[in-house]
Structure 1
Amino acid sequence: MKTMKTQRGMTLTSFLVVLCIVGFGLYIGMKLFPMYSEFYAVKTALKGVAKEPGVANMEPGKVQEMFFRRLDISYSESVKPANVKFERVSGGWNMKVNYEVRRPLVGNLDVVGKFDAHQELTLSGAD
């Protein structure tokens, strides 16, 4: 008596469904990656400014200028001077950068990212 072998694997329809899901995931990733890459550049610029000698005694305008010079190297476009705030702390400043990035996704849907970074600029250096 012969037994039939059952075939295993994906049908064309299931393959197309999986391909669509993976493609949509990659599309979302392509929209999110630049936003998070820019946030990483902001955090790197903050840490770089904190390592500058004498930054705790500088005026906020000078520190902000140094920060934006570092961001210009990274081609950051979302952070504006209005997004940067300074708060006096003992021994220096606390620099806060809060900004929002909005990118179109599909049709009238957007991806919105809210980013918040801060760095203490004290005599003791970066934390």
Structure 2
Amino acid sequence: MKMRSQQSGLSIPSILVIAIMVGFFVMCAIRMAPSYFEYLTVKEVITKVAQEHDPAVESIPDIRRKIANLFNTNQIYGLKPSEVEVFRRDGKTYIDANYEARIPVAGPVDAVIRFDDLQLEAGTAEGS
């Protein structure tokens, strides 16, 4: 029977380094998850408002009011209704709710998540 002259495997310090790295990424995921779920709710609200818009009946202040009510109902705090832009261009109404979420990770280190696919043409569900 032949004996190995060296051991194989990870040492205690290397296991600790790997555990710290995995722990850091798990902590980041846990801190970022609420912002991502809030984004999904914002996307649902903006899509709903855009689909239900009737340009013959509703004006821009009506859309803003509807967005503010739905944000309040769905407890959205990462994006204020005043930060959502509602404007008209070429006879069409657009809703632009693009925003960034800044999440503190550790000390002076922040993670920034950019949600930039929230510009919709009101009256349709398609983005522009």
Tell me the TM-score normalized by structure 1: 0.80
| Superposed counterparts of 1:46-65, under 5 Å | 46-52=46-52, 54-57=53-56, 58-65=58-65
Indicate the residue corresponding to 1:74 in structure 2: 74
Segments of structure 1 that go 5 or more residues without pairing to the other structure are none
Once residues 74 and 113 of structure 2 are traced to their aligned partners in structure 1, the CA distance between those partners, rounded to angstroms, is 19
SS in 2 for 1:33: helix
Segments of structure 2 that go 5 or more residues without pairing to the other structure are none
Once residues 112 and 99 of structure 1 are traced to their aligned partners in structure 2, the CA distance between those partners, rounded to angstroms, is 10
1:70-106 CA distance string (max 9 Å, x none): 2234321021133111221455411111333222221
**Aligned residues with identical type, % of pairs:** 28
Indicate the residue corresponding to 2:2 in structure 1: 3
Report the CA distance shift for 1:95/1:83 in structure 2 as closer, same or farther (over 3 A). Answer: same
Determine if contact 1:35/1:101 at 8 Å carries over to the other structure.
yes
- Structure in which a larger fraction of residues adopt strand: 1
Tell me the TM-score normalized by structure 2: 0.79
Identify the range of structure 1 (64-73 vs 24-33) with the bigger mean alpha-carbon deviation. Answer: 64-73
Structure 1 residue 48 displacement after superposition: 0.9
Indicate the residue corresponding to 2:97 in structure 1: 97
CA RMSD after TM alignment: 2.2
Equivalent residues, number: 123
Once residues 77 and 88 of structure 2 are traced to their aligned partners in structure 1, the CA distance between those partners, rounded to angstroms, is 27
Counterpart code for 1:39: Y
